[in-house]
Structure 1
Amino acid sequence: MVHQLIAWSLKNRFIVLMLATVLLAWGIFAVKQNPIDAIPDLSENQVIVFTEWMGRGPQLIEDQITYPLVTNLQGLPRIKYVRGTSMFGMSFIYVIFNDDVDIYWARSRVLEKLSTISRSLPAGATPQLGPDGTGVGHILWYTLDAPQMDLGEQRALQDWYVKFALQNVEGVSEIASFGGFQKQYQVTVNPNKLLYYRLSVADVINAIRNNNNESGGRKFELSDIGYIIKTSGYLQSIEEIENIPVTTQKSIPIRVADVATVQMTGESRLGIFDKDGAGERVGGIVVMRYGENAAAVIDRIKVKMQEVAKGFPEGVTFDIVYDRGELISESISSIKKTLIEEMIVVSLVVLVFLFHWRSALSIIIQIPITIAISFILLNAFGISSNIMSLTGIALAIGVIVDNGIIMSENAYKHLAEKYERWQESSLKEERT
């Protein structure tokens, strides 16, 4: 088989050269299309389900949420196993699928299952799917450099302006906000006053909830003009909450202010984000979508940041604290430099030791063609250009050259033997 292939190649040199040219051009195109990242994605093919049930202990979360979810999700098709974690106010379920399963098919199966499980969970506990990213999806961290704004204003700017703008970038799965204070109205109930007025905490909660609502009316016409009636009942200030009546006793309304203190404050925090010991910062984490090109997504994020920064208040700027793009560029440039150096050294060694330019040229040409073909295979198997894959290509150059040298020496040996036999036969013919 090998002899027939070699013989066919020798007889059809033009076709072989054309095939090599086509593969080289295809490989160059594959190099441009191959996703670039600094580190390989070795994470499992998983779907994360998280459930918030704030104020509950880990044991209650385990019994009421984590255990029912784990037992029901185990029946999904093509899964390896299901892991669950319970903590204060939160439940995390990790559904690990087989490696050949499409991630979005897996997410749709989990979502279908959750639609039937949710009815058996406690009121107020709604399972949600995590972002469609991987364990190495955190590609960029940024903070807001806003010395003239307090942490609450910075967090509001991040949550209601920056986050929504950056989430629209192609390839971004989620913008996770961190730091600062999330503003909220807090109602601190006085238990002694509740006892005095013979009220409960549930009465105060229901009164506030029922008075923070809008209801629609109807449309009516007057003098050939149509009017739409609606009520505006959403609470907009501390005073409005304080004046909400909880109940009436002896024709006297008992307001929220009579039994509680209302104030604007921040949500309770479990930690802070500090930058270089110079104070707290507010920012976000850019999570890349599954299977995207990290370098391209980072470039698009930076372009979008320039557009978003135009709408910032005066004195507010972006401060990038982690950028995988720098690591990617440094890693790729280092590998490219190594590849070029290896190709030059190998070419010189081949020329010096073979001392036959045609044989050396045939071996040297194999290097770029083989590297180009390897990127075709990388794209076919969904492997990105990273430190591991490019290092493997760099190490394979030696094998490529060894094979070329062995084939050249073998061909030279057979040609030399054939030339000797031809010389012997010609001498015999002269003698005769």
Structure 2
Amino acid sequence: NVQVQINTEAPGYSPLEVEQRITYLVELAITGLPHVESTRSVSRYALSQVTVVFEKGTDIYFARNLINERLQQAKSEMPSGIGPVMGPVATGLGEIFHYAVHAKPGTLQENGEPYDATALRTLQDWVIRPQLRLVPGVTEVNTIGGFEKQFHITPEPSRLLAYQLSFDDLVAALEKNNANIGAGYI
């Protein structure tokens, strides 16, 4: 069948929050589109997935264009930083395999620490996922669960003041430190 899948990542959102704040808005936006046969949705932890099935014979690119127009409307009503994305052009057999990444009890990372949800997510994102995407016929690998590695800076205002620094100075230093400049020729 002709179908378009709409995926929206929402880090930190529970399935209920995903349903109320994202899935509902996407479903509402696509309501009334021409040639729609049915819709179905799944709201998981940090992920909303809405599948729109069109009548047989509908041009897939016409269908995607209709949905894209409606998604812009829905996006403006969603929490900031969250936006729906259409999945690749695929058949109804698109999502065919689910797997979980586990570590055997007692297995240690190279740094000697045991594997936790953050380490397993990092392994999934930087090792397993890129290798799976090289397999012929695989167009997308979606990751659900675990914790993305984050770096938090929690300044102590009194120590900043002791050095006569402001929060703006700290932000400027971080931006300068994290600059990424392309190489050139000499």
TM > 0.5: yes
Identity %: 25
- Asked which structure has the greater CA Rg, the reply is 1
- Is residue 2:76 matched to residue 1:119? yes
CA shift, 1:47, in A, is 0.9
2:141 paired residue number: 176
Q: Name structure 2 gaps, 5 residues minimum.
A: 99-108, 111-119, 160-167, 181-186
Q: Alpha carbons of 1:85 and 1:161: their partners in 2 closer, same or farther (altered >3 Å)?
A: closer
- Contact kept, 8 Å, 1:74 with 1:81, in 2: the verdict is no
Q: Tell me the CA shift for residue 76 of structure 1.
A: 1.4
Q: What is the aligned length?
A: 149
Alpha-carbon distance in 2 for matches of 1:139, 1:67: 25
The residue that corresponds to 1:234 in the other structure is: 178
Q: Which residue of 2 aligns with 1:22?
A: none
Q: 1:85 to 1:155 in 2, by over 3 A?
A: closer
Asked if structure 2 preserves the Cα contact closer than 8 Å seen for 1:49 and 1:128, the reply is yes
Q: CA deviation at 1:187?
A: 3.0
Counterparts of 1:177 and 1:69, CA distance in 2: 19
Paired position in structure 1 for 2:152: 187
Question: Which amino acid counterpart does residue 90 of structure 2 have in structure 1?
Answer: G
- SS in structure 2 opposite 1:93? strand
Question: CA, structure 1 residues 60+140, in 2 after alignment: closer, same or farther (shift >3 Å)?
Answer: closer
Shift of 1:127: 0.5
Displacement after TM superposition at 1:126 (Å): 0.6
Q: What is the DSSP-based 3-state SS (H/G/I as helix, E as strand, rest coil) of the residue aligned with 1:176? A: coil
Q: What's the TM-score once normalised by structure 2's chain length?
A: 0.59
Offset from partner CA, 1:69-113 (integer Å, 9 cap, x none): 211201211112333332322212121111111222212221122
- In structure 2, the residue corresponding to 1:80 is in which secondary structure? strand
> 1:255-334 counterparts in 2 under 5 A?
none
The Cα of 1:155 is off from its aligned counterpart by: 5.0
One-letter code aligned to 2:52 = V
TM-score (normalizing by structure 1) = 0.28
Q: Indicate the SS of the match to 2:13.
A: coil
How far apart are 1:162 and its partner, in Å? 7.3
How far residue 131 of structure 1 moved from its aligned partner, in angstroms, is 2.3
CA distance in 2, matches of 1:182, 1:194: 26
When the two chains are superposed, the root-mean-square deviation of aligned CA atoms in Å is 4.0
The correspondence of residues 11-26 of structure 1 with structure 2, limited to 5 A, is none
- Closer, same or farther: CA 209–120 of 1 in aligned 2, 3 Å: farther
Amino acid paired to 2:74: I
Q: What corresponds to 1:50 in structure 2?
A: 7
- Pick the structure with more strand per residue: 1
Q: Which has the higher helix share?
A: 1
Quickly say closer, same or farther: Cα 1:154–1:90, change in 2 above 3 A. Answer: closer
Gapped regions of structure 1 (runs ≥ 5): 1-43, 142-148, 198-205, 214-231, 237-432
Contact 1:56 1:88 in 2 (8 A): yes
Output aligned runs, 1:10-409, within 5 Å.
Answer: 44-137=1-94, 156-158=126-128, 163=133, 166=134, 172=137, 174-176=139-141, 184-187=149-152, 211-213=173-175, 232-234=176-178
How has the CA–CA distance of structure 1 residues 194 and 91 changed in structure 2, closer, same or farther, with 3 Å as cutoff? farther
Residues 160 and 89 (structure 1), Cα distance of their counterparts in 2 relative to 1, 3 Å cut: closer
> 1:417 corresponds to which residue?
none
- Residues 161-189 of structure 1, C-alpha deviations (whole Å, 9 max, x = no match): 874xx38x7xx46142769x887344386
